[in-house]
Structure 1
Amino acid sequence: MIVYSERTRRADPRALLEELRAGLFAGGEPDEALLIAAGVLEAGVTDALSPEEDDEPEAARPFARVTRELAQARRGDGAAQARALAAVDEAARGPLPRVVEVTEPEGFAFYALMPELHAEAARRFAVAVRPARATVVGLRSIGTTLAAVVAAELVAAGVAVRVVTVRPRGHPFERELRLGSRLRAALEQADHVLIVDEGPGISGSSFAAAAEAALRAGVPEGRIALFPSWDSDGTGLRSERARALWPRLSRWVVGFEEAFVDTGRLAAPWGGGALRDLSGGLWRELIPERERPAVQPQHERRKYRLAREDGPLLLKFAGLGERGRRMLARAEAQAAAGLAPEPVGLADGFLALRFVEGRLVGALDDATMGAVGRHLAWVARQAPVGQVRAGELLELTRTNVAEGLGEGVAERLGWMEAQAGVVEARPAVAVDGRMLPQEWLRTGRGVLKTDGLDHHDDHFWPGTQDIAWDLAGAMTEFGMDAEARERLVGDYIAATGDRGVREVLAFQETAYLAWRLGYASLAAETLGDGPDGRGMARARDGYAAALRAAIERGAA
């Protein structure tokens, strides 16, 4: 099943260098956005220069110095910004690939992975172990930035540090490192080896591949340390190699709650107050049990209710750096249009919004239909962001239909192929991407949308898309009958003048249902025989029936 969407993009490294230079010249202390951008660029350039194996390509070295210096600047080194600018100039003078592939680090964007957590872990390691020398191995891509952060703390503690980055390759459950002679020598000469990344993921094989390379180089187990973003005893990892290694190696982890919640740091920018965790589906405790929808808790952002004398706030992770600022701007625009709760500000990647008391909308009535229509019209009026990628939608649909309904049903999608040209002629917008009924609250200010900021730009489908995707989502998730569907489409066209939406609605609805079938299937399999797993299984069956009917209507 296709559920996740690749967010890698192709970029000119010289243009990205110019953006870094502009940021460094902007004045004041460089913010975390520059450090993240430097790590992303370093990873992209190093990948482009290391197609077969990793061995510290010469042209990538000034990019690595930029990241290292910005990590030093992050901890208050006043001269590091000038050194970073000099490294940018050196990188720009060197031979560079014309295009590199860069990927936004998911931990910084979606999962509240704060660089400070790895920094604190490094400080604790330095105090407890007191190494004289250490080789820090960052696993690209996010490990590039995190390795620089860890290295900066070790340097401050008087440790002689060498930083290298590597790209684990191969099947996700059986990653391996392919090292050239210089990196093999670096490990052979290492005293302590610190392996830095987010994760572990489902398999843990990337950490295992790096640890195995250190062991082969002769580094004793007791001198190999893992710096993940969360701890595990290894028993749940799908890689046999990772399960064997994980409990034998030291692990240095500082949790978000310890560093940001227990210390009061998360609440401090908003005057302090008591926090209630609403992450991972815990927000459902605020509504009657009979109304609680099934969710995949692992896919939910961190969010907290902050109790304050002048009214509670919802603190929701929106992303570090530039991403967080984009989400704040979109939240302000939606609130100004009367569609969503009012934002108060942004700090540490968390967007603060007025906490609105209300209840889920329940039955589809005139107030809800009106709110959905106004929201769709607002989204459609935003500036276009490219064209619809009909080929990718067809691939998603064919794959998920074949796996979910069978090859015979997938063979009946010829009508979608015939419409591809019309679909691609339409503009793509930053759609809502999440039109589920639990996203709408009935409040004293009317029906509001609670989460319409960035589902077009997370690591799931749809990405930027035709507004028809959201129309199809609203029709599907609210279970609209033919009359309600026609009313929604008619109201949307009256508000926007977009009559062409009718031509592509069947195509987009079929693609939407295929994606939701894939999502619910994967969630049901992952969650197993618990309430959420059973709820996702019921949703899967509902999407399957609706998808089969949509295909038959299109093929008729």
Structure 2
Amino acid sequence: MLVYGDIETVQTVKEKQAAVAALLESVRAMPPGIARHGTLVTLFIGASELVQGVVDAGFHERGFDTLAPDQEAGMACLVRLAQEVDRSWRSGFASAPPPTGALSGLRAFNPDQIIRTRQAEGYAFYALYPESYLEAARSSGLGPDTRVIGIRSIGMSLSALVAAALGAPVPFTLRPVGHPFEREVRVDPALTHRLTSGKSGAFAVVDEGPGLSGSSFGAVADWLEEAGIPRERIYFFPSHGAPLGPQASDRHRERWRCAPRHLVPFEDLLLGPSDSEGLAAWTASLLGPLEAPLEELSGGAWRARAYADEAQWPPANIQQERRKFLARAGGAAWLVRFAGLGESGERKLAMGRKLHEAGFTPEARALCHGFLVERWHDARRLDRVPVDGGHLVERVGAYLGFRAGHFPAEEQQGASLQALRHMATYNTGQALGDEAAAALTTSLKDAEALEAKVRRVWTDNRMHAWEWLVLDGHLLKTDALDHNAAHDLVGCQDIAWDVAGAIVELDLPEEATSRLCELVQQHSGYPVHLDLLRFLLPCYLAFQMGACHMAAGALGEGNEAVRLRRAAERYRHLLRQPGIRQEQEEAPAG
């Protein structure tokens, strides 16, 4: 099934340089503390994205990796910034701010060059903290003669952290290419000889993951072994301690099992034994003294608080869920949820506050180094409480209309209709066969013509009934900030994507659908194009079917897998008959 996708930003080097320079000025103007440290990490991530974009542009032009001047200058700058992150972290966020010349290594880049930068998944989705690699390197026992090799994209910044903590030379980075399960590296032979000709010293291979196959780690280790480096001199710095995934080769699996690996898990870094340190201390600095230890709600555990019986639980992709905790302070309950390192957390805080002020979502109180603090309500969910259908449609229409009117997005922040069409026909073929896929291909033939009608916004992308709270007869939308920039291929879409989601997830009849479209236009000032909605509805079903199917496959057996397979089957059934009349025209003006 097609579900996942990379988020890329296309911009000039000058634009990225200006953004990074502004962050440096912000850091220098802030007082010491966790807020300044968080902004420093945002600066470090932004600079890493700039260097990654420049180095990847050179790689794609040449077709192989080499130690070009841009890479040397850029990596030297990242190591320097990593040292600043390390100083701040080890000083309890009290160290002096970086000097004004901290970004000097980035000024030699061609400002007019167009680059593509990739969002680092670990920083954005999976609570991968740069500080964990500093601690892993420090506890590894490796010395300053270690040759550090990063795997782009995120391995570029992670390798700078490892080198900074070890006092090692500036790292070299590689871009594995090819099939996701059979990656390979392409390196200048002269550089390979130069890097591997030493008779001693360790090689540290640094990246997040491994994923389903670990083939990126494996490709770099294969390259080193083929260049004559003994296996015992190769050390891995991953983000988790699990074995390689089910798609790994036998050779890679055997090497991974025996190889030394160095990591510091999230729990060891931020969930210490004392409430005076880590995430608990950060939360208390915002809310006041905690009345109880943080309660883990990750991996679907939140459902135990929301439902009286496990038999009522909705499905959850527990491997993709963000880290989240329940905090109690000042007589209130708060959800402390990972929103992302870098700029995404600030954007979500601003969006959350705006939605709350309009009365649609719980209060968004603050952001603290990647974690968003929101009000927690012990209220029943819409999937367990009967609500008047007219009231439901009015409320959903007002909510989607507000989003459509207040949160415009850029074209590059979401999949094109052609990409959605490809995903939908592929997933349909996998689930329903070639004949159904061919029929859907024909019915979705207008992708290019409809693209002109798409007006991208920061859509909700999570309209499921269990994501709505019924609080004193009033509907509040939860989980409203993350799914428009999740680890999937959808991203920001026309508001018609959320209308399709509401139709499916709230089981809206035809007359309610028409009223919903009218309300969205009334509250936003923009129409819901019915031909676009007809196009997006099967795409929505095919995506959700694929996501549930893949999540169930990753779990194998158990109650969670059963819930996910049941949900996938529901989407599969609906995909046979999307249920929007073909003769309907565009929704009338409000």
Asked if TM exceeds 0.5, the reply is: yes
CA distance in structure 2 between the aligned counterparts of 1:521 and 1:235, rounded to whole angstroms: 17
CA distance in structure 2 between the aligned counterparts of 1:463 and 1:294, rounded to whole angstroms: 21
Partner of 1:99: 114
Partner of 1:268: 281
CA distance in structure 1 between the aligned counterparts of 2:380 and 2:422, rounded to whole angstroms: 38
In structure 2, the CA distance between the partners of 1:79 and 1:447, relative to structure 1 (3 Å rule), is closer
Partner of 2:79: 68
Which of 189, 194, 212 is the matching residue for 1:185? 194
In structure 2, give the amino acid aligned to 1:394: R
SS of 2:302's equivalent?
Answer: helix
Task: Report Cα offsets for 1:495-545 as digits up to 9, x if no partner.
Answer: 345444334221121221121122222223222232222222222222122
Which of 78, 88, 102 is the matching residue for 1:84? 102
In structure 2, the CA distance between the partners of 1:513 and 1:250, relative to structure 1 (3 Å rule), is same
Which of 249, 252, 255 is the matching residue for 1:245? 255
CA RMSD of aligned residues (A): 2.4
Whether the aligned pair in 2 keeps the contact of 1:72 and 1:80 (CA below 8 Å) is no
How many residue pairs match? The answer is 546
Superposed, 1:426-445 pairs within 5 Å as 426-444=454-472
In structure 2, give the amino acid aligned to 1:365: V
Which of 43, 60, 80 is the matching residue for 2:52? 43
The answer to whether structure 1 residue 401 and structure 2 residue 428 are counterparts is yes
Partner of 1:53: 64
SS of 1:50's equivalent?
Answer: helix
Which of 135, 138, 143 is the matching residue for 2:155? 143
In structure 2, the CA distance between the partners of 1:465 and 1:215, relative to structure 1 (3 Å rule), is same
CA distance in structure 1 between the aligned counterparts of 2:143 and 2:448, rounded to whole angstroms: 61
CA distance in structure 1 between the aligned counterparts of 2:98 and 2:511, rounded to whole angstroms: 64
SS of 1:489's equivalent?
Answer: helix
Whether the aligned pair in 2 keeps the contact of 1:45 and 1:100 (CA below 8 Å) is yes
Whether the aligned pair in 2 keeps the contact of 1:173 and 1:203 (CA below 8 Å) is yes
Task: Report Cα offsets for 1:436-476 as digits up to 9, x if no partner.
Answer: 11111112472211111131112214211111110110110
Q: Report how far residue 336 of structure 1 moved.
A: 0.6
Which of 266, 270, 282 is the matching residue for 2:301? 282
Task: Report Cα offsets for 1:399-442 as digits up to 9, x if no partner.
Answer: 22222222222332434324642453231111101101111111
Which of 308, 331, 342 is the matching residue for 2:363? 342
Which of 26, 31, 42 is the matching residue for 2:40? 31
In structure 1, give the amino acid aligned to 2:301: L
CA distance in structure 1 between the aligned counterparts of 2:208 and 2:134, rounded to whole angstroms: 13
CA distance in structure 1 between the aligned counterparts of 2:171 and 2:191, rounded to whole angstroms: 13
Partner of 2:587: none
| More off after superposition, 16-25 vs 168-177 | 16-25
CA distance in structure 2 between the aligned counterparts of 1:400 and 1:467, rounded to whole angstroms: 23
Which of 482, 486, 491 is the matching residue for 1:454? 482
Task: Report Cα offsets for 1:246-290 as digits up to 9, x if no partner.
Answer: 122111111111111124410112324411111111111111223
CA distance in structure 1 between the aligned counterparts of 2:511 and 2:453, rounded to whole angstroms: 28
CA distance in structure 2 between the aligned counterparts of 1:508 and 1:117, rounded to whole angstroms: 41
In structure 1, give the amino acid aligned to 2:303: R
Q: Report how far residue 555 of structure 1 moved.
A: 10
Which of 403, 418, 435 is the matching residue for 1:379? 403
Partner of 1:365: 387
SS of 1:381's equivalent?
Answer: helix
In structure 2, the CA distance between the partners of 1:223 and 1:411, relative to structure 1 (3 Å rule), is closer
| More off after superposition, 325-334 vs 270-279 | 270-279
CA distance in structure 2 between the aligned counterparts of 1:501 and 1:99, rounded to whole angstroms: 34
Partner of 2:492: 464
Instruction: Give the TM-score of the pair, scaled to structure 2.
Output: 0.87
Whether the aligned pair in 1 keeps the contact of 2:460 and 2:483 (CA below 8 Å) is yes
In structure 2, the CA distance between the partners of 1:499 and 1:346, relative to structure 1 (3 Å rule), is closer
Task: Report Cα offsets for 1:371-400 as digits up to 9, x if no partner.
Answer: 322211111112432458332222222222
CA distance in structure 2 between the aligned counterparts of 1:466 and 1:173, rounded to whole angstroms: 33
CA distance in structure 1 between the aligned counterparts of 2:86 and 2:580, rounded to whole angstroms: 60
Instruction: Give the TM-score of the pair, scaled to structure 1.
Output: 0.92
Whether the aligned pair in 2 keeps the contact of 1:69 and 1:80 (CA below 8 Å) is no
Superposed, 1:502-541 pairs within 5 Å as 502-541=530-569
Which of 173, 184, 188 is the matching residue for 1:176? 184
SS of 2:23's equivalent?
Answer: helix
Whether the aligned pair in 1 keeps the contact of 2:138 and 2:165 (CA below 8 Å) is yes
In structure 2, the CA distance between the partners of 1:249 and 1:408, relative to structure 1 (3 Å rule), is same
CA distance in structure 2 between the aligned counterparts of 1:216 and 1:172, rounded to whole angstroms: 21
Partner of 2:90: none
CA distance in structure 2 between the aligned counterparts of 1:167 and 1:8, rounded to whole angstroms: 16
Whether the aligned pair in 1 keeps the contact of 2:534 and 2:580 (CA below 8 Å) is no
Whether the aligned pair in 2 keeps the contact of 1:296 and 1:527 (CA below 8 Å) is no
In structure 2, the CA distance between the partners of 1:420 and 1:53, relative to structure 1 (3 Å rule), is closer
Whether the aligned pair in 2 keeps the contact of 1:439 and 1:451 (CA below 8 Å) is yes
SS of 1:324's equivalent?
Answer: helix
In structure 1, give the amino acid aligned to 2:234: I
Partner of 1:302: 323
Whether the aligned pair in 1 keeps the contact of 2:150 and 2:172 (CA below 8 Å) is yes
CA distance in structure 1 between the aligned counterparts of 2:364 and 2:320, rounded to whole angstroms: 23
In structure 2, give the amino acid aligned to 1:282: A
| More off after superposition, 462-471 vs 19-28 | 19-28
What is the aligned-residue identity percentage? 34
Whether the aligned pair in 2 keeps the contact of 1:195 and 1:226 (CA below 8 Å) is yes
In structure 2, the CA distance between the partners of 1:422 and 1:249, relative to structure 1 (3 Å rule), is closer
| More off after superposition, 520-529 vs 335-344 | 520-529
CA distance in structure 2 between the aligned counterparts of 1:276 and 1:527, rounded to whole angstroms: 24
In structure 2, the CA distance between the partners of 1:55 and 1:236, relative to structure 1 (3 Å rule), is same
